[in-house]
Amino acid sequence: MGDFEVIEGNVTSPKGFLASGVFAGIKKAKKDFALIYSEKKANVAASFTTNKVKAAPVLLDMEKIKNGEAQAIVINSGNANACTGKRGYEDACATADTAAKHLNIDSDDVLVCSTGVIGVTLPMDKVAKGIELAVQSLSRDGGKEAAKAILTTDTFSKEVAVKFAIKGVEVTIGGIAKGSGMISPNMATMLSFITTDANITKNALNRALKDTVKRSYNMISVDGDMSTNDTVIILANGEAGNPVIEDGTDDYEIFYKALEYVNKNLAKQIAKDGEGATKFMEVNVLHALTEDDAIIAAKATVNSSLVKTAIFGEDANWGRIIAAVGYSGADFIPEKTDIYLKSKIGEIKVCENGGYIQFDEDFAKEILKEKDISVIIDLNAGKYNAVAYGCDLSYDYVKINGSYRS
C-alpha cells in the first residue's frame, strides 16, 4: 500500500492507548458504552456535523477541542442526547466530569459522543454505571469491544489499522467507526474515532484530518439524511517517539496518505453497511473542470434516491445518473458526457455524448447483479476526478426505519 502497511487492528493498535466496550443498560441487550483512553495527554483534532441542529455532546466537544488537547473519549449508543435542551448539555458535561473523576484526569480532557434515538434524555444512572464498568474494563485489547459498543443499526463492526515509518521509526494509526443509516455527504448518524502514536504538531494533525474527511466521510451516502451527531475525532499521543511531523514536509505526506487510507476504509465500510443495503456503489467522476465540480457531481449521483433504487433494481437507467449530475451544480457540458457501468464481470458504456447509445441490456443487467458496482461518469472537460461511495436503497431500508424506535 505504498508508504504504509495495512494491519489487523483498531484504536488500541497504536502505543499508549487503551479501550473498552461494556453493557450499561441504555440498550436492551447489546453493548452500549465505550471508552477510548490515552495513557498520556494527546493532541486532538475533530470534525463535526454541519447540521444546524447539533446534539449536546457535539456542542460540548466543539468547545473542548479548542485547546487542541484531550485524553479520553466516552461514547454511548442507544441514545443520541440530541434535541434535549439545557438538560442534555448538562448531562453531557456530567458524563465528562464523571469519567474524568474515575480516570483521575481533567474533565476538559474528556470528549463525549452519543448516538441513537433523538429527543430522549440520557438515563444518567446507567451512564454512570457504564463509565465505571468501562474504566474497570480498559485494556490494550479493548478496541474490538469498543467498536461493538458504538453500533446502533450497524450489522458489523468497523475497524482498521495501518503502520508506517517516519525517519525509521514505526508509527501506527488505528480507527473504529459506526454508521448505517442517516448517512449523507457533509459528515454523515456516523461516528469515527482514530488514534495514532505519531508525534505530530496540532496544526498538522488538524489539517490532515480536515483534508481527509473531505475525501472520505464527506463522500458517502446511504439515505441522504444528515445526522445531528456526526463526529470524527483523532488523538495523537506521540508515543511512537518519531521526529515531530510538521505541515508541508515529506513526513507529513506519508502521515497524510496513511490517515487518508484509514478514513476512506472506514467510510467505505459504513457505505457497505447501509441500512437494508444489498449493493455497494462507487461513483467515479472523471475529467471535470475543477475538483469542486467533480466532488459535487459525484455526491449528487451517490445521493440520488432514483439512482440508488435503479441500482437495487438492477436497471441500467443512465438517465437518472445524468439528471443527478445536471442538478448537482457542477459546471459541465452534457453533450460531452459519457457514462459507464462496471462490476467484476465487466464494463459497459450506457451513454455517449450525453445521449442514447445502443448497448446490451442483458449484459448491463448481469453487471448490476454483482454486489459491488461502479458508476463511471466521464465529463470529458478537464483533469479533475472524484470518488463517492454509497449503497442501493431497498425495501428493507423502509422496514428498518419505519420501526426504528420500537
- Alpha-carbon span 112 to 107, nearest angstrom: 10
- Alpha-carbon span 292 to 68, nearest angstrom: 29
Site of grid cell 466543539 = 62
Is 189 among the catalytic positions? yes
- Alpha-carbon span 249 to 237, nearest angstrom: 20
Q: Which amino acid is at 290?
A: T
Contact 20, 137 (CB under 8 A): yes
Catalytic residue among 189, 228, 231, 337: 189
Q: What's the 3-state SS for the chain?
A: CCCEEEECCCCCCCCCEEEEEECCCCCCCCCCEEEEEEEEEEEEEEEECCCCCCCHHHHHHHHHHHHCEEEEEEEEEEECCCCCHHHHHHHHHHHHHHHHHHHCCCHHHEEEEEEEECCCCCCHHHHHHHHHHHHHCCECCCHHHHHHHCCCCCCCCEEEEEEEEECCEEEEEEEEEECCCCCCCCCCCCEEEEEECCCECHHHHHHHHHHHHHCCHHHEECCCCCCCCCEEEEEECCCCCCCCECCCCHHHHHHHHHHHHHHHHHHHHHHHCCCCCCCEEEEEEEEECCHHHHHHHHHHHHHCHHHHHHHHCCCCCHHHHHHHHHHCCCCCCHHHCEEEEEECCEEEEEEECCEECCCCHHHHHHHHCCCEEEEEEECCCCCEEEEEEEECCCHHHHHHHHCCCC
Active-site residues: which are they?
189
